[in-house]
Structure 1
Amino acid sequence: MPGLAERLLADLQEAVRSGDVTRREVIRFLRAEIKNVEIEKGRPLTDDEIIEVIRRQIKMRREAIEQFAQGGRTDLVDRESAQIAVLEQYLPPQLSPDELLALARQVVEEVGAAGPKDMSKVMPVLRARVGPRAEGQAIADAARQALNERATAHPSS
């Protein structure tokens, strides 16, 4: 199975052939960003590292959407939204909020966390288990909810 870098190249070539301007421009920009990170690191990126670059691109565009929406620029909101849709196709299937919360509860139980003060015990383990299947903020929210549930279910201190 080809890696993400090869898939991006093949998809770029297909977008050029088919005349899909949005897809072509998004993939070109993404590949340039990946190349910059590779130069910085001095080596080719792994698929997981490429996924992190894609996540940063999505986050950047979401922030731009907020700004454009405040400025009433629906044309630019639509353009950025279309770009996010292209980028999201390269992310692995995402966990649902329920799946993420169930995983967070499991980790809270395993590490013996008692409440919100144990967030630093839970997050590294949860992040490692979830990997690229959820964004950082969603992971933190699930951990916080699981810790709050634990604190109210087992009030100890």
Structure 2
Amino acid sequence: MYPIYFLPLHPFSIAINLDSRRKQDVQYPMVHAMSTDKKSQRYQASCHCQSIRYTVTLAPPLHDPDSWVVECNCSICARNGHLNVYVQSACIQFDGADLSSSLVEKYRFGKGRVQHYFCSRCGSSLMAESVEPGFYDGVKALNVRMFQGVDVRTLQRREVDGRSL
């Protein structure tokens, strides 16, 4: 397997796969941040049993033409149907139990670069974050399927080659 190099660009990075059998440029996720100059929207989110509840502020909102969600091909995202949006941690406010709660289970696989968070009661996949310094520091990948009132069929999607990470 050949390495993937990240070239920092705004609002997202480009990953170049150096495998000559798959010469392609892949768009990597835009990261939503707290913003005062862009339109934003707050979303209520929770696990299925409502034990873990949180509010997410996205700028731009999910329905904005410049916004999109990630369909990752890594084994956990593909098997569970995750649709992720990447946000700065400051965009998330927990209502009660947070990621350090005993209600939250943590899971890493493969190279162990990303930690996934699940509700210990209902098993809902909430979000994931990098645990590797310099790799999406301060960013969480939120599963938009946990957002209330969002019709995921209407969201713009981008495929990401997470299997190669």
Query: TM-score normalized by structure 1?
Result: 0.22
Question: Which structure would you say has the larger Rg?
Answer: 1
Query: TM-score normalized by structure 2?
Result: 0.22
Which structure dedicates a bigger proportion of its chain to strand?
A: 2
Which structure dedicates a bigger proportion of its chain to helix?
A: 1
